[in-house]
Amino acid sequence: MQNPGFKKNQPYRLGVIIVNYQTPELVETCLSTLAPQLGAVNGCCVIVDNASGDGSLDRLTAWCEVSPAADRLMVVSAPQNGGFSAGNNIGLKHLNADLVLLLNSDAAVKPDALIALIRAADHNSQASIFTPLIVDGDGEPQVSRFRRHRLLSEFVDGAQTGPITKVFPKAETPIFPEDIDTEPDWVSFSAVMIRRQAIEDAGPMDEGFFLYYEDCDYCRRLTGKGHRICYVPDAVFQHDAGGSTKLRERQAKSARLPEYYYRSRSRYFRKTYGPLGPIAANLFWFAGRGVALARGIVGRPAPKLSANRYADMWIGWRGDNKS
């Protein structure tokens, strides 16, 4: 553990956690936008290096040591790369803060975004989860609010057919930026602020999710405890979607997705619907895919899939010890 001048025992209003795995340059860019705002909100930041083994720990420690906000920055070394949930759980153990901001390494904090989030928390005592407006590099809003993954949503996702989506509009998972009235079931954890009291109520994040689906699972647990989600459009964060994981790049190229993506998907549906959940989700998706293929015979071709998608969707469906 490295803590260059960090005031660990001091209570903070806001504690930020950034998990790093071999992306120190992204973390430095993120910190350059975050660190100047910490003082204004009595905030601090813990950077958890998930056993990168590429010199990230030393590099980020050196960066923090020379930062004007050095006394508010701390670098922690994880014993192994346990994934996103595990990294954030480690970070939580080193924070003494009322509000916790989980922040991706490929995100950037726009001016006054932290102030806007805390103002929202002060004015919305009924809410515990605060999601900002997330934009891309061109300033265009990204999809960051979602409806829950349900069995019917797997059918809609597999079909990717306009008339099907219109028949089942509430089964469409993404909530598009122009829709500001629909209350989300879950939000992207690329940037999200949660009350520490709510985290203690729900417990730590499920480390069985190495990466992906941990945000919808944790929001399900939080909202199941009665904690509400508040959208804060005045707080703006920029996110290079997939910059730290390259998932979007793989999807665009129809390349094979990593095994842990499918294990997380299976784990989510098993937790939500029981042992047969992953099987049911796959059957719904395959039914939707059948619609897409049938449509392709007479009209627009069915969308391309990631390589080996049909087989990979069954990864982890039995609930083995890796999922």
CA nearest to 103, candidates 3, 33, 183: 33
Give the pLDDT score at 300: 85
State the pTM of this model: 0.93
Task: State phi, psi for 300 to the nearest 5 degrees.
Answer: -65, 130
H or E element at residue 134: strand 127-135
Residue 190's identity, in one-letter code, is S
In the chain, which residues have pLDDT < 70? 1-5, 8, 242-253, 320-323
CA distance 323 to 316: 6
For residue 276, give both structure tokens: 């047969």
Sheet holding 191-195, edge to edge: 73-77, 43-49, 12-20, 97-103, 191-195, 127-135, 228-239, 107-109
How confident is the model over 56-74, as pLDDT tens digits? Answer: 999 999 999 999 999 999 9
Q: SS in 3 state form for 199-234?
A: HHHHCCCCCCCCCCCHHHHHHHHHHHCCCEEEEEEE
What is the C-alpha R_g of the chain?
Answer: 20
Write down the H helix ranges in the chain.
Answer: 24-38, 56-66, 84-93, 113-123, 151-159, 162-167, 196-202, 214-224, 247-252, 259-273, 277-298, 309-312
Give the pLDDT score at 252: 59
Which DSSP symbol is given to 274?
A: -
Looking up tokens 């899939």, which residue turns up?
A: 305
How confident is the model over 123-181, as pLDDT tens digits? Answer: 999 999 999 999 999 999 999 999 999 999 999 999 999 999 999 999 999 999 999 88
Domains of the chain plus CATH, in order, are 12-147+182-241 (3.90.550.60), 148-178+246-318 (no CATH)
Give the pLDDT score at 5: 64
Give the pLDDT score at 97: 97
For residue 77, give both structure tokens: 């070394």
How confident is the model over 186-201, as pLDDT tens digits? Answer: 999 999 999 999 999 9
